Amino acid sequence: MELTQADVDRVVAAALAEDVGDGDRTTAALVPADAHARAQLLLEEPGVVCGVRVAAAVFRAVDPNVRVEALVDDGDAVTDVPAVLATVEGPARAVLTGERVALNLLGRLCGIASLTRRYVELVDGTGATILDTRKTTPGLRSLEKYAVRCGGGANHRAGLYDAVLVKENHLRIAGGIPAAVAALNGARDVEIEAETAEQVQEALDAGVGRILLDNMSPEQVAGAVGLVAGRAHLEASGGVSLGTVRAYAETGVDFISVGALTHGARSLHVSLEVLD
């Protein structure tokens, strides 16, 4: 799932419309139309950088004469703070009008990338891949999933349209795993959610290529890994935390999906400082 310029422009346009409306009354009243400003975008706490390109798009959308020079790359880890992420230069009104939207998006994306990096580091050496989920902020999915990638995680699926994942309620309506797989007319490209060892066996018997182990303990996941013995890819999901992710990874599971990467990440503290 690539982050396209169209994705960025769509989010930026909506965010500016929400914040600016029919005009920035304070800036228009206090800042001369011909005033020029130089400023810095700062990361005020340690973390993984993500979203400088998005912040730049905000300022350019307000006024294409604003120039933003990134000084770090998305995905870089910063420990020495405050750190200058980019310089911003151009019409002062545009810089001030775009400030809050740029910071909101930048801080949010840095927070997701930073939390993802913590999960990824905790499973290092196990072979498990950290995945995101569809638990994203409405309208921001493409940006938030990009932030997960900047943190070293991987994207599960972009939406309902690009993969088949049969969950508990699907199974209830379809009549169970064998019936659901039969209705799908093939199973190798299908992922089935399983809550018990019995359902794992049913999915194996149906030829399913990937099984989501829903809300199982690390011990139950380890049992499923032994049962499957490499015949399908396994994904642990549900209630995984920073405190438990290593235990899940050490079971030998292939993937660990963590909704908290996006719905539980705290925005990092970022700021814009006008120099002159």
The residues annotated with a catalytic role in the active site are: 100, 135, 167, 193, 214
List own/partner pairs for 12-19 with CB under 8 A and 24 or more apart. Answer: 12/54, 12/57, 12/58, 12/61, 12/101, 12/105, 13/61, 14/139, 15/58, 15/101, 15/104, 15/105, 16/58, 16/61, 16/62, 16/98, 16/101, 19/100, 19/101
Return the SS3 of 236: strand
Place of tokens 């018990």: 196
What gap in Å lies between CA 205 and CA 44, rounded to an integer? 53
Exposure string over 93-114, b if 16+ CB within 10 A, otherwise e? bbbbbbbbbbbbbbbbbbbbbb
